[in-house]
Amino acid sequence: MSAVSSLQLDALAARLAEYLTVPLEASGRHVHLSRAHVEALFGPGYRLNRVRELSQPGQFVCAERLTLAGPKGEIPNVVVLGPERKESQVEISLTDAVALGVHPPVRLSGDLDGTPGITLRHGDRTLTLDRGLLVARRHIHMTPADARRFGVENGQAVRLRTFTSRAVIFTGVDVRVSDQFATAVHLDYDEANACGFQKGDRAMILPGSSSPPQE
């Protein structure tokens, strides 16, 4: 076999592996703010400053940082993500929850009914949310085309095998399908560290559905 054909086979194998898998991403603690809460924390008329784009279309990292304050402790330098939302939301890990002394449910983003609040601080400005604190359930953002390719539907829960340094099989991974998404798995830092995630790692959706874990 010639060196050229060997390289071609390697490239084909790499493309096939990419076709059969989905990219993994680690999502750290962050805050989404409403217009009213942006102004409460940063001043009337204040606009969030975009720093860089995220993988999901239209989503971006802001220059602004906040401190989360709970009954037991504080976590400083927590990033704000844009754009502004209709209702503020704070996403943390279960490890963060222990440090703060709070007990948020594990929920999909936007499912805020019954969630506890949290105190946000920026300089001498303080804002206490009545609700909006959660631990994000692991999920896959997926385009409609990729959903058809993998044979999954919006709202389905699947099993996911990671190709990471400490490979694991995650169950109860929610599929979220939209033409506004880019395909990617979102794990929080607890989950990412548990499986030894490194940037560029990927995972495979396993045959058969999986019921989501009970809270």
pLDDT at 213: 46
pLDDT at 209: 62
The secondary structure element, H or E, covering residue 174 is strand 169-177
Read off the amino acid at residue 211.
S
Helix, strand, coil percent content, the chain, rounded in steps of 5: 20, 40, 40
List residues bridging with 156 in a β-sheet. none
Neighbours of 93 (CB within 10 A): 21
The secondary structure element, H or E, covering residue 12 is helix 3-20
pLDDT at 215: 43
As to burial, measured by CB atoms within 10 angstroms (0-12 exposed, 13-18 middle, 19+ buried), residue 7 is: exposed
Strands 184-188 and 22-27 come out as parallel
Q: Is the peptide bond before 57 cis (omega within 30 degrees of 0)?
A: no
pLDDT at 3: 58
Rounded to two decimals, what is the model's pTM?
Answer: 0.87
Full 3-state SS string of 53-80: ECCCCCCEEEEEEEEEECCCCEEEEEEE
- The parts of the chain modelled with pLDDT lower than 50 are 1, 212-215
pLDDT at 42: 98
| 147 three-state secondary structure | helix
Nearest-5° Cα angle at 169, 184 to 142: 20
pLDDT in tens, 93-129: 999 999 999 999 999 999 999 999 999 999 999 999 9
- DSSP letter assigned to residue 101: T
pLDDT at 11: 63
pLDDT at 214: 43
Q: Give me 211's structure tokens.
A: 């019921």
